[in-house]
Chain A
Amino acid sequence: MPASVPFTDGDYIGALLDRNGLRPSRYTITKSGKLIMSSEIGVVDIAPEDVKKHGRLEPGKMFLVDMNQGRIIEDEEIKSKIVSERPYQEWLNNTRLHLKDVPYTSETCPIESIDIKTRQRLFNYTFEDIQEVITPMAQDAKEALGSMGTDTPLAVLSDRPQLISNYFKQLFAQVTNPPLDGIREEIVTDISLNLGKDRNIFSITDRQCRKLRIQNPVISNADLEKIRSIDIESFKAETIQILYSKAQGLNGLEDALDSIIVQVEKALAAKTNIIILSDRGVSQELAPIPALLACSFVNHQLNRLRKRSYFDIIIESAEPREPHHFATLFGYGASAVNPYMVNEIIRMQVKEGFIKDMDEQKAVDNFNKAIGKGILKVMNKIGISTLHSYRGSQIFEIVGFNSQFVEKYFPYTASRIEGIGLYEIEKEIDQRYKQAYPNNQIDKNLSLNIGGDYRWRRNGERHLFNPTTISKLQQAVRLSDQDSYDVYAKAINDQAENLMTIRGLFEFDNLDPIPLEEVEDWTEIVKRFKTGAMSYGSISREAHENLAIAMNRIGGKSNSGEGGEDRKRFQKDINGDSRNSAIKQVASGRFGVTSHYLTNAREIQIKMAQGAKPGEGGQLPGYKVLPWIAAARNSTPFVGLISPPPHHDIYSIEDLAQLIFDLKNANREARINVKLVSEVGVGTIAAGVAKAKADVVLISGYDGGTGASPLTSLKHAGLPWELGLAEAQQTLVLNNLRSRIVVECDGQLKTGRDVAIAALLGAEEFGFATAPLVASGCIMMRKCHLNTCPVGIATQDKELRKNFKGTPEHVINFFFYVAEELRLIMAQLGFRTLEEMVGQTHKINSNKAIKHYKAKGLDLSSILYRPAAYREMPVRNTEQQEHNLENVLDFTILKDSHRALYRKEKMNLCYPIKNTNRTVGAIISNEISKIYGHLGLPEDTLNINFTGSAGQSFGAFSAHGLTFILEGNTNDYLGKGLSGAKLIVKKPTKADFIAEDNIIVGNVCLFGAVEGQAYINGIAGERFAVRNSGAIAVVEGVGDHCCEYMTGGKVIVLGKTGRNFAAGMSGGIAYIYDPENKFINGLCNTETIEFEDISNEDAADLKAIIEKHVLYTDSKKGESLLVDWTTSLQKFVKIMPTEYKKALLRLETEEPMFEELTLA
């Protein structure tokens, strides 16, 4: 969690920052003996000549003032004092037990009495589990990917038996705290765990270290046997069976659960400190208790008995097979998991040759590794970096358990729509038994269910998009055939017997029919429709432009996605069509986000999360970054691009408000839209978003999503939009915020009925992604991530793109039919306009008789709840947000710079600046972009001298032709999205501190910078030049994670760097002055880069840039380096990303590739 914690006891005053440095904390010490610490610089006016030091709190470090001694105690001093008090390292070395040091025993794992096929059926394995989930993980040590979201029923609505993990949905971080990038910021993550009894935390002895350490808590059969038979002082393991008597049914299950607790207590009394809960030994008589149920019950029950700290839990179960299953086990208290059935399956797959080129052991290791990575990803989604803190954290929401059941077995977990309990769970187990033990011997060879979760099959899980709905929809839009649409819509809507979604359980109520003619025209309705954010790059140009043309023709909005947009599309076509996407997305990667791009938006969408994989980033592999894709994204061809899980300029709601403000400055006409994914608490976030002055908030369902995503995230992260939308609507109304913001909804919207439900629950705008793609020809191959889309949509392959047969008319037809279907419903309900419908939940009835044994326990009233506030407060958007732009300094500058802007005359202006002057430069740049496009004005046309402490986002999105010279310092986000301007920040002339020892600019400077220059006469905070894709920057020192995800440009650091330099850096070049070889020996993350010799050409270039730096900033450091350049040069290290190097070579030697548009 991002945190800066100040504290004091009267004698000491200090502050501590989180381990990843996600909060700014700046301090100034004056010569007159004052110390000022604040999250921002410039809160108190200090004369420059009085400044002794400008500093910042560093990640994980403590800042302490001893008031009695009257001095600042450095972090190192504090910590070395503490660590040297006792021989901690020695304690660890001598007392801690590593799993690898536990000797293997002769014990072999238990032999099961019944055959594997029967057991597989009993534990609900399907062909798909083996083929699509387990085998790929064992083969590649990576989780398998899928595409196109999920359109299968929620576990509680499915008629096939479900493992109970499937009722749990992972929560994830959005806005209030950032998700974490466990891959690039691996230094802060850890999945190792210590097992054994916890001791009194106040007694500081070496016994505290007496723990069993497991590196990867997914353990093999052999490792489990080691632990089971452990015979080492202070450790004792006991296995407790989690089986119940099948014949006794529900009672048997309840009794068995209670008996487990008794057994655990008994074991604890006998000094056992590792409890192995095992479902081995199943038979026709003894059925397995769901491992998660047993684990959580033991966890909570022993907690209630105040004995939980005496032991740790290991799960030995046939159940877990995908990362989500493991995540739930850890989330409810397990410390290690042995998936023995998966091990058996992997061995079989190796034997039969389905897993190639490795032995069984390697394949099992691979699987365990893949699960380890998967769990890390699940933890990182919510921003947790160690499994130690994730264990027992219960970061899930349940969909479909009743509260009585939850209270007993999964207390403190949100479960909002009630649902099943132990009785139904036993019934599901019974169903599995019926599959496992059929009366007749039929098709013994094909004993497993086909699955059908990821790919449609008859007899498999049901899908909303299936052969009939897809072909009927395509037939409808291609032949303009209403009858086919009706068949399609009926198949989707008619879920009376086929429960699929929550909205399927609703019926319209309180009908008040009016003539259809009185309902507003379809052409009005479709203006509220939008297509989903799909980037150019993830889908082909043909498909992308087709959607844009269609939406522009009907006055709806298409979405650029996060991949930028070809500038040519900003102008209209000769035939009057426009390929310009009305919505421009700003995602965490900031690809192609320039002033000009933003200027051409009608709406700007900040993607906080996406339905398919909320809390995760993405990656476009280098081979897909073809020259034309790279051009739209301002990146280098063939160099892979990473979208980080978090926006590195949003670690809190205040940061989001700042970004909204930045974007509003960058384009005052555009609405700002914040995209959230449904989960418990999204209402509070939506309220925050409304207060942060967003114009639109989008609540996305978990099920949508067209892009590639790990299979686990597709299904198990986030919630259906019905829940999130209802929560957002209710919270916004209750807080009287609803009037200020437009609410949008998306996620598997397919028909007019879907839109009607969304409107009644509180949405006034609607997004569609999959359905318009299907209208354009998508046949749900679910191969988007493989570049082999045969219909030319999700591919960049030139040959395959020729197969794209979609036209704007197809898309328009789709929206026409949806709107017409909606009009019929409106007429039935008695609404003349869609606006009247918004939030009118009394038109929905959820009391429909549900006969399905699992679904009948559901209670949807909380979704339809109308707070009393509904009577006084507006329930829909009625007013505009007040953005308070009028005080922005840019308006003063605009007035003064008329000649420069409109006549390109060189001008010099001067202004004082304060930290309340936020986002200086974006409005001027917006004006420049409007007139001159991306290339802006000639260099140094408008030169502005500022003095003082600049606020956040100084120079954000600043365009070509601007030169800002700031004498003073700035806060965070200097030069965010820099679009060509030159930014100079220098120490005030009057100040006499040493520039290279003092912080001058804040965190996350030059984030997503595209072009331009920055010369910084001092130290920058953390994450300097993150995702820089083209700017040239000189700085005299930086914090951690500098140049992370950088894809282009140049960064020259003349002083110290923090840790994890160049993590995930795939392009651009960095030069570090490293006279003490500190950088090269450990501060740099070398995963994607190499150190390269500096050529003569490089050296000349480097020198020229440093000369400029000296010229602009009077840098003493720069000057000193230039004095003896030959010697200085030898101490520079050049960082070259491996992929970038290859790409440059390829671009130099290969024939240039050109884009040919296959669209007619």
Chain B
Amino acid sequence: MGKVTGFKEFERQDETYTSVIDRVKNYQEFTVPLSEKEITKQGSRCMDCGIPFCHSSCPLGNLIPDFNHMVHQGEWQKASWILHSTNNFPEFTGRLCPAPCEQACVLGLIEDPVSIENIEKNIVERAFKEGWIKPQLPKNRTTKTIAVIGSGPAGLAAAQQLNRAGHTVTVFERDDEVGGLLRYGIPNFKMEKGIIDRRIVVLKAEGIIFKTNINVGVNYDVKDLKEFDSIVLCGGSTEKRSLPTLGIDADGVVQAMDFLTQQTKVLFGKEVKNQIMATGKDVIVIGGGDTGSDCIGTSNRHGAKSVVNFEIMPKPPGHRSPTTPWPFWPLQLKTSSSHKEGADRNWLINTKEFVKDEQGKLIALKTVNVEWKMVPGQRPELVEITGTEKTWPCDLALLALGFTGPESTLADKLGLKTDARSNYKAEYGKYQTNVPNIFTAGDMRRGQSLIVWAISEGREAARQVDIFLMGKSELPSKDIAGDLVAM
């Protein structure tokens, strides 16, 4: 390609962050972009593999070697075309995707992988800056109308694709602003909300109708959906997991998502009564995932006295574990920018009790260390290690334990089948529920997952809806046979 030996000459360069001291003072993004020259150099590290595993492991099927090549050539607009041909919202994934592509990058076998995600972000930012991202109106309008329920990445992607096929699309959102988890669930310092707004402007100009504050099945009768030819459910996986432990009802035990949402709402001047604050408190975040990490970052911005993080699983190895070989997603320790802002991380620890004072206020957590007993052929068993009980002073415990599945309201009211994990049932690749004109995509169908999967499912579901309505579709498809078959 551009440079055959680029990977041997240049090292990976990532964007850097402003200093911790500076960035915890506010809720703005704190990345420091690389120079254009440096990005083109990074593009030249791409080896143009005979088999680009990145492209296969990307749920969207992003044409990674192809846009890398264009970036290396300085052809930013062409890069943007290529990028947008598979990804409706690279500005979201360019910031928030855990980048399975980079884990599957062939260069990653021998050194640091190509900085694909950062290149992606630079392409889309450049495209917005240059004004290349313009509304693409459909040439012809069909007579078909479609309701998309949920305005997260899956819903937005489905809406945009269906609109491009000429259908009239209405998106329903129960919150006051569109974006789903992207809007309030993701802290502003991870993605500034203007990023969503600028894309919504384009979507509206393309003719998509957005209706906020409408909770279908609650303040909007599902019967009224009859006016639509087809319905796409993209309501996400929003049932929060709890911790059935003594003292869970203590004042000061809070769901992480509530904590994060409030903070972002406040930031944008929305009214929030009794905002949960971490200021001056001993904060314990239970759950070692991305939400946990966001809580750590937000707590530090609040000015917590201390921030401790618990994870029940063992500490992952610093390098890719042999049980999760390349090109698959690795079991590997991740240290996020929020972790670097200060947190005491603990693994193999289980909360036994939330200790409260007489007023019911949380004052401490009792924990015990655990280990996992592995018996081949059986589910691993959690075993407590006696004598490791410990009490941690704590006045704010944030539960970042993930989601158990979608809410059942719509399924109940629309008569939809769900699977064993309470997800809405529709075959991967088909997205059609047991009610023929109702489709579902994203977390609502697959359970909690990545933004990139949400966009992918939204796009693919849109194509299936189009085929359902029109008998055929010219909307693009990623060819799911190309998905890297997981472990």
Contact = CB atoms under 8 A, between A and B. Distances in A.
B51 A470 contact: yes
Interface in A448-504: 450, 454-459, 462-463, 465-468, 470-472, 474-475, 478-479, 487, 491, 498
Interface string B55-79: 1110001010110000001010000
B484 A471 contact: yes
Given A450-B63, A466-B51, A487-B485, A790 B107 contact: yes
B47 A783 contact: yes
A471 B327 contact: yes
A779 B81 CA distance: 28
B109 A791 contact: yes
A779 B82 CA distance: 25
Given A458-B56, A472-B485, A148 B61 contact: no
Interface in B159-178: 164-166
Interface in A486-531: 487, 491, 498
Interface string B467-487: 000000011111101111100
A281 B4 CA distance: 40
B226 interface: no
Contact of B53 (A471, A479, A800): A471
Of A470, A498, A790, most B-chain CB atoms within 10 Å:
A790
Contacts of B477: 459
A812 interface: no
B325 A779 contact: no
Q: Interface extent on B, as a size class? A: 35 or more
Given A458-B478, A799-B8, A440 B139 contact: yes
Contacts, number: 137
B482 A442 contact: no
A1151 interface: no
Contact of A468 (B4, B47, B49, B485): B485
Contacts of A782: 49-50
B59 to A, nearest CB: 11
B325 A478 contact: yes
Given A478-B325, A788-B4, A457 B81 contact: no
B327 A467 contact: yes
A780 B484 CA distance: 15
A932 to B, nearest CB: 44
A779 B327 CA distance: 11
A442 B106 contact: no
B449 interface: no
A865 interface: no
Interface string B87-104: 000000000000000001
A443 B481 CA distance: 22
A467 B475 contact: no
Given A127-B66, A446-B81, A455 B327 contact: no
Contacts of B26: none
A458 B8 contact: no
Nearest to A803: B110
Nearest to B326: A471
B85 interface: yes
B48 interface: yes
A333 B312 CA distance: 76
Given A442-B164, A781-B106, A790 B7 contact: yes
A783 B485 CA distance: 25
Contacts of B63: 450, 457
A466 B8 contact: no
A773 to B, nearest CB: 12
A445 interface: yes
A592 B251 CA distance: 83
A7 interface: no
Given A127-B66, A468-B485, A443 B85 contact: yes
Interface string B319-330: 000110111100
A158 to B, nearest CB: 15
Interface in A784-823: 786, 788, 790-791, 797, 799-800, 803
Nearest to A463: B51
B140 interface: yes
B164 A790 contact: no
Contacts of B140: 439-440
Nearest to B61: A458
A284 to B, nearest CB: 16
A788 B139 contact: no
A938 interface: no
Contacts of B139: 440-441
A1091 interface: no
Contact of A475 (B75, B165, B325): B325
Contact of A467 (B51, B73, B107, B322): B51
B429 interface: no
B165 A440 contact: yes
B50 A459 contact: no
B5 interface: yes
B400 to A, nearest CB: 32
Contacts of A800: 8, 110
A960 to B, nearest CB: 43
Contacts of A479: 322-323, 325
Given A458-B55, A467-B57, A472-B485, A445 B49 contact: no
Contact of A442 (B47, B474, B485): B474
A455 B164 contact: no
A440 B485 contact: no
Contacts of B47: 781, 783, 788, 790
B138 interface: yes
Interface in A749-788: 779-783, 786, 788
A472 B326 CA distance: 10
Of A450, A456, A800, most B-chain CB atoms within 10 Å:
A456
Contact of A440 (B52, B55, B66, B138): B138
Contacts of A799: 8
A456 B75 CA distance: 23
A438 interface: yes
Nearest to B7: A790
A12 interface: no
Contacts of A783: 4, 47-48, 50
Interface in B306-361: 322-323, 325-328
Contact of B50 (A458, A471, A498, A781): A781
Nearest to A442: B474
A351 to B, nearest CB: 13
Nearest to B327: A471
A623 interface: no
B56 A467 contact: yes
Contact of A148 (B50, B65, B110, B478): B50
A423 interface: no
Contacts of A474: 325
Contacts of A455: 48-52, 65
A88 interface: no
Nearest to A435: B474
25 contacts: A127-B66, A440-B164, A442-B165, A446-B81, A455-B49, A455-B50, A456-B51, A459-B482, A467-B104, A467-B484, A471-B325, A471-B484, A479-B323, A491-B485, A779-B106, A780-B50, A780-B51, A781-B47, A781-B50, A781-B106, A782-B50, A788-B5, A790-B7, A790-B106, A797-B8
Interface of B: 4-5, 7-8, 47-53, 55-57, 61, 63, 65-66, 73, 75, 81-82, 85, 104, 106-107, 109-110, 138-140, 164-166, 322-323, 325-328, 474-479, 481-485
Given A468-B483, A487-B485, 11 more contacts: A440-B165, A455-B51, A457-B482, A458-B61, A459-B478, A468-B484, A471-B485, A779-B53, A790-B106, A790-B109, A790-B110
Interface of A: 127, 147-148, 352-354, 438-443, 445-446, 450, 454-459, 462-463, 465-468, 470-472, 474-475, 478-479, 487, 491, 498, 779-783, 786, 788, 790-791, 797, 799-800, 803
Report, nearest first, the 9 A-B pairs whose CB atoms are least far apart.
Answer: A782-B50, A458-B482, A467-B56, A445-B81, A458-B479, A468-B485, A441-B139, A458-B61, A780-B50
